[in-house]
Structures are given as structure tokens and as C-alpha cells.
Amino acid sequence: MTGPPAGDRMTVVFFPEGAFGPTNNCVGIAQALQRRGARAVFVVEESFAGTLAAQGFEERLVRLKPAPALPEEPGQFWKDFIRETAPELRRPPIEQLAGLVRPIWAELIEGARFAEERLGQIFAELRPAVIVEDNVVAFPAVLRAGCPWVRIVSCNPLEVEDRRLPPALSGLPTDDDRGWAAFRAARARAVGDLQAQLAALVASSGAPALPAGTFIPPSPFLNLTVFPAEMDYARSVPLDGSWHRLDSCVRVAAGTYRLPARLAGGDRPVVYLSLGSLGSGDLPLMERLLEVLGRSPYRVVVSLGPQHQRLRLRENMDGAPFLPQPSVLPQVDVVITHGGNNTVTECVHHGRPMVVLPLFWDQHDNAQRVQECGFGVRLPTYEFREAALLEALEDCLGDTARRARLAGVAARLQAQPGTERAADLIARVGARR
């Protein structure tokens, strides 16, 4: 697609991973930059075509693998992948390394290889002042684009390794290092050769070498983490001055949500159930949650996800395939979530306690951290008892000290929007060019 002439406006290219969480974080920052007169262009996986244009952004499309015979839905690349590996979600984190984590990183590396030529064409056409990347692997085309680039870490900040903190993806506690070494060793066995493959790909492209044992380097220009200070980790080695924390990064929702008349009013608490676009595709898990919550005394709002036509809402529920989450959260009392970083930080931004049912990747780390920080309860995703889920909801709803603390954190985050802070920092990097 051809966008309007850039004129003298700063062109900022956003390149998020082909999933809704990283994309939504980038949308909030891009909105803030556009309000300042910048030109924001999204490079998105082809199945997302039109979704960013509908929000007022230019798009450039890229594929991470050969095109399928039939059209795809947004994020179809990962929906298909997760569906095929769904049995692995029922395993503990250390057992997910070989059967789930390794294949994900392998797919991403092949995506970086496949997209290299197209990304180079896009960057040459747009000539951006700065590229903002939110991925967990390095794309050589970004590293050698000839302009500054910014790395956003929109996963749990354990992604940035510190040997005195739990290993990323483990879900292990911070106050007990038993199991840390075993997990790190298992992770190295599972993905060490993939890191070497990616390093070779980056080197062969002429881009700066990757640091040993990593999938993506820090940017020499600017690095952003997305995690509230009240939940962040005490590092043994402080990150350098290129790193900045965004306590939250909440976009302006593309739509609004209101409870329907049949559920509005009254004093029954409102529960929001959202397992993300991937977790909601696990039909047995979703159906069990709907069954349990359908017998509960609560009003329930459900993000049904891509398999919505196969799920049945109960009388105490309302829902839709996709909901404008920033509009939903202020209207609910407690959230049941998979622990995606985007949802966790948005819940804290709005002061909502959580019951976390993690599935994979950094969701295990976020679930553990939510519980450690007293912002909610972690439960076993596939083995939870009905009574335990209801008790966790009652705990979140009835703990007035927790709710007061969350309200205080929310007030601070809303008064200092991370989207505006990110826009300031990114604009400075672009202006230096």
C-alpha cells in the first residue's frame, strides 16, 4: 500500500511480533507519536492486513513463511502453530522447553530468514528515522537498516538475563533458587544450537554479531521494558543507561464496551475472563471455565477468541470474539487471565487483581510474579479445582488491603502514561539521526 508523503515528518516504523500483545503495546506508543505529528508505519505479518489501517496507521506487509492456499485470520501463523502443539501446554515449564519453546524459536528464526529480503525492501522504501522492534529474535534486516533501532521487551523482564534471578520461562520463585540451574541447563540443551544458527544468519548478513547465548541483542540506541516498578525485579547488575522501564503501555481502545442491560446494575461482582487469542482457542479449557463460572454468583464478561462459535455463554455472561480490553477493565472487579504481559500490565494499570492460569512462555513468570507481589493468585491451569478457583476469586475480591494497594499503583501509572514516555524517548532517538 502507498501512504501519504512523509514530508518533513519523522517516520517511525513499528515492527511487532505477529501476535496481539506486542502489537497492541506498539499501537499505544504509535498513537502518542502520531499526536505529536510523526508518521507511524506498521510492518505486520500478512494475516494482520487491514487491522492497523483500521486504527489510522499505514501498513507494510511481510510474511514469515510461504503463503497458504486459503486466506488467513489475523495472527493465524501462531494460532495454527499453538493448535498443533497444544498437548505441550499441559506440561510443566521445564518439559515445555523441548516440545514447545524450541519449536517456537525455530519458527521465529526461519521467519527472520524468510522475511529478510522483504524487510530490506520496506526499510529502503520508507527510510525511517527509527525502527521500533518488539520481537524475541533478531531480524538481520533491522540491525543493518542504516538507522537507529529501538528494542521493546514486552515479555516479562526476566527475558533480559540476570544470573541471580530466576531463568526466563521457568515460572520459578525469586526467593528459592532450587531448580534455577537445572532449568538453565535444560534450556541450553533445548535451544543452544538454535542460538548458534541465528548468530550465523546475522553474521552472514553483515549485521553486528549477536552476543553469545542470546536470540536478540540490546539496542545500542534505546531499550524499553514494559512492567510496573512495583512488580519489577531487583537486579544484581543494573542495566545500562540505554534501558528504560515503561510501567505500563496502554493504548486508546479502538472501540468501547458496556455491560448489557440484563447484567448491568446490582451489586454482584463482575469477573472478566480473557485467556488471550491463543489460550481462548483451547476449547476444553474454555468450556470448563465457562461451566464453573456459569454456576458462580458473579456476572462474567468473556473474551471468546477465534473459536467463539464453538463456545456457549451462560445466562450470567456476556462476551464477544474480541473485546476492547482497555474499555472493559475499568468496568470489572477481578480478572482471570493467562498471564500475558500485556494483560498483566493493563490489569495493574487499572488496579484490577488477577487469578492467573499460565499456559506457556513468560506467562509462567508473570503468574509467579503476580502472586509474589500480592497482586493476585496463581493456579494450576489444567488441574485447578472448582472450589479453588472460586476461593481465589473471593480472595481477590475480599482483600481490601490488596485492592487499596492496586488502586494506588493504578493512580500513579495513569498519571504517568508509559505510551507518552516511550514516545518522548523514541522521538529523541529519531531526532538524533
User: 72 and 98 in one domain?
Assistant: yes
192 and 46, same structural domain? Answer: yes
169 in the same domain as 284? no
Mean pLDDT of 112-139: 96
Query: For the residues 213-238, what does the mean pLDDT come to?
Result: 96
Domain annotation covers residue 143: yes
**Integer distance in angstroms from the first to the last C-alpha of the chain?**
26
Q: What is the per-residue pLDDT for 345? A: 96
From the list 159, 128, 148, 152, the residue with the least C-alpha distance to 43 is: 128
Q: What is the pLDDT of residue 384?
A: 95
pLDDT tens per residue, range 250-291: 888 778 999 999 998 888 999 999 998 788 888 899 999 999
Q: Name the strands in the sheet holding 11-16, side by side, starting at the edge strand that comes first in the sequence.
A: 58-62, 39-45, 11-16, 130-134, 149-153, 222-226, 243-246
pLDDT tens sequence across 7-27: 578 999 999 987 778 888 899
Residue 84 pLDDT exceeds 80:
no
Let me know if 102 is exposed, middle or buried by CB neighbors in 10 A (0-12, 13-18, 19+): middle
Are residue 211 and residue 327 in the same domain, yes or no? no
Name the band, by pLDDT with cuts 50, 70 and 90, for residue 201. very high
Residue 389: strand, helix, or coil: helix
- Report yes or no: 428 and 400 within 8 Å, Cβ to Cβ: no
Confidence at 102, pLDDT banded by 50, 70, 90: very high
In a domain, 5, yes or no: no
SS3 354: strand
Weakest mean pLDDT among 123-132, 220-229, 301-310: 301-310
Q: Which whole number is the average pLDDT over 246-251?
A: 91
The pLDDT assigned to 101 comes to 95
Residue 1 lies in a domain: no
Interior angle at CA 308, CA 304 and CA 312, nearest 5: 90
pTM: 0.93
pLDDT, tens only, 22-48: 888 899 999 999 999 999 999 998 888
- In this predicted structure, the answer to whether residue 354 has a pLDDT above a threshold of 50 is yes
Q: b/e per residue, 125-151, with b = 16+ CB within 10 A?
A: ebebbbbbbbbbbbbbbbbbbebbbbb
In angstroms, the CA 104 to CA 248 distance is 26
366 lies in some domain: yes
Task: Let me know whether 298 and 187 are in one domain.
Answer: no
CATH (domain of 368):
3.40.50.2000
On whether residue 265 sits in a domain, the answer given is: no
Do residues 189 and 322 share a domain? no
**Together in a domain, 169 and 281:** no
Q: Could you tell me if residue 257 is inside a domain?
A: no
pLDDT at 67: 78
pLDDT value of residue 76:
62
pLDDT at 2 over 50: no
* Mean pLDDT for the chain overall: 92
What tens digit of pLDDT does each residue of 289-342 get? 999 999 999 999 999 987 788 899 999 999 998 899 999 999 999 999 999 999
* Predicted local confidence at residue 34, as pLDDT: 95
Q: Are residues 202 and 298 in the same domain?
A: no
Extract the runs of DSSP E, i.e. beta strands, from 57-197: 58-62, 130-134, 149-153
Kindly state whether residues 208 and 324 are assigned to the same domain. no
Q: How many independent structural domains does the chain possess?
A: 2
Is the residue at 310 inside a domain? Answer: yes
pLDDT in tens, 147-159: 999 999 999 999 9
User: What is the model's pLDDT at position 4?
Assistant: 37
Query: Would you state the pLDDT for residue 388?
Result: 97
The pLDDT, as a whole number, for residue 308 is 80
Enter the C-alpha cell of residue 220.
545500542
Identify whether residues 106 and 243 lie together within a single domain.
yes
Does some domain include residue 108? Answer: yes
24 and 120 part of one domain: yes
Per the structure, the complete domain to which residue 106 belongs is given by: 11-251+417-432
- What is the pLDDT at residue 379? 98
Q: What percent of the chain has pLDDT over 70?
A: 95
Q: Quick one: pLDDT at residue 319? A: 94
> By percentage, how much of the chain surpasses pLDDT 90?
78
What confidence score (pLDDT) does residue 75 get? Answer: 57
Q: Are residues 98 and 162 in the same domain?
A: yes
In which residue are the cell numbers 489475523 written?
Answer: 74
pLDDT at 377 over 60: yes
199 and 215 in contact (C-beta within 8 Å)? Answer: no
> Which range is least confidently modeled, 63-77, 108-122, 211-225, 288-302?
63-77
